[in-house]
Amino acid sequence: MFDIAFNNVNEIIGMNGHGIYVWSVYSIAISILVVSFLIAKNRIKGVKRKIKIKNAPS
Amino acid sequence: MISVIIHKFSSPKSFVQITKTLYPLFIFTGLFMLIIGWTWGLLFAPPDAVQGNSYRIIFLHVPAVIFAELIYFFMALCALMHIVWRVRLAAYLIKSAAPIGAMITFIGLFSGSIWGIPTWGTWWQWDARITSTLILFIMYLGILTLHGSFSNLEKSDRLMSILVVIGVVNIPIIKKSVDWWSTLHQPASISVSGGSSIDPSMLYPLIISVIGLGFTLISLGILTSRSYILGREKNKKWVLDHV
DSSP per-residue codes, B37-51: HHHIIIIISPPBTTT
Distance from CA of A21 to the nearest CA of B (A): 6
Contact, B68 vs B112, CB < 8 A?
Answer: no
Where is pLDDT greater, at B43 or B11? B43
Tell me which residue of B99, B44, B46 sits closest to B75, measured CA to CA.
B99
**pLDDT tens sequence across B57-107:** 999 999 999 999 999 999 999 999 999 999 999 999 999 999 999 999 999
Q: Output the CA–CA distances (angstroms, integers) from residue A7 to A4, A14, A19, B53, B56, in the order listed.
A: 8, 12, 15, 14, 17
CATH 2.60.98 fits B14-242, yes or no: no
* Predicted pLDDT at B179: 85
Q: Count of CB atoms within 10 A of residue B31's CB?
A: 15
Contact, B78 vs B167, CB < 8 A?
Answer: no
Listed range (B71-80, B172-181, B187-196, B207-216) with the worst mean pLDDT:
B187-196
Burial class (CB in 10 A: 0-12, 13-18, 19+), B49: exposed
Per domain, the residue ranges of chain B are: 14-242
Q: For residues B35 and B14, what is the distance between their CA atoms, to the nearest angstrom?
A: 31
Identify residues of B whose CB sits under 8 angstroms from chain A CBs: 38, 42-47, 52-54, 56-57, 60-61, 64, 100, 103, 106-107, 110-111, 114-115, 117-118, 200-201, 204, 216, 220, 223-224, 226-227, 230-231, 234, 239-240, 243
| Dihedral sign (CA B98, B135, B121, B41) | positive
**pLDDT tens sequence across B13-25:** 999 999 999 999 9
Asked if A26 lies within 8 A of B60 by C-beta distance, the reply is yes
**What angle separates helix B88-120 from helix B153-167, to the nearest 10 degrees?**
40
Asked if A18 lies within 8 A of B43 by C-beta distance, the reply is no
Domains in chain A, number: 1
Whether A39 is covered by a domain: the verdict is: yes
Whether A2 is covered by a domain: the verdict is: no
* Global confidence as pTM: 0.93
Domain that holds residue A31: 9-54
* Predicted pLDDT at B184: 79
Tell me which residue of B212, B166, B189, B211 sits closest to B72, measured CA to CA.
B166
The phi-psi region of residue B191 (left if phi > 0; otherwise alpha if psi is between -120 and 50; otherwise beta) is: beta
ipTM higher than threshold 0.85: yes
Whether A4 is covered by a domain: the verdict is: no
Contact, B165 vs B81, CB < 8 A?
Answer: no
Partners of residue B52 on adjacent β-strands: B48
DSSP three-state, residue A8: coil
Whether A44 is covered by a domain: the verdict is: yes
DSSP per-residue codes, B73-94: HHHHHHHHHHHHH--HHHHHHH
DSSP three-state, residue B106: helix
Q: Output the CA–CA distances (angstroms, integers) from residue B71 to B29, B78, B93, in the order listed.
A: 19, 10, 11
Whether A1 is covered by a domain: the verdict is: no
Asked if A4 lies within 8 A of B44 by C-beta distance, the reply is yes
Is the pLDDT at B243 greater than 90? The verdict is no
Nearest chain B residue to A37, by CA: B220
